[in-house]
Amino acid sequence: MILFMPKIEVRNGDVEQALRNFKRITSETRKNSKRHEFYLRPGLRQKEKEKAAAKKLKKLARKMR
């Protein structure tokens, strides 16, 4: 559930840059709302963090091949 809609101004007719900014802001908003959707105990939060880090490393290793 998004509480607000981000607004982006197009400067100097640069629509591509404005679109990139919009996508970045909306993805941050989605991640933030998902993270705060329900309470996680500190131990479980740490496990989720470690799981995400391992996934990121695995993805990076696959990319390096």
Structural domains in the chain (count)? 1
Alpha helices in 3-65 (DSSP H): 15-35, 42-64
Which band of pLDDT confidence, cut at 50, 70 and 90, is reported for residue 50? Answer: very high
Residues 6+ apart with CB under 8 A from 9: 18
Domain extent for 51: 15-64
Would 27 be classed as within a structural domain?
yes
Which band of pLDDT confidence, cut at 50, 70 and 90, is reported for residue 1? Answer: low
Would 23 be classed as within a structural domain?
yes
| pLDDT score, position 51 | 96
In this structure, what are the phi and psi dihedrals at residue 44, rounded to the nearest 5 degrees? Answer: -70, -35
Would 25 be classed as within a structural domain?
yes
3: pLDDT strictly greater than 80 = no
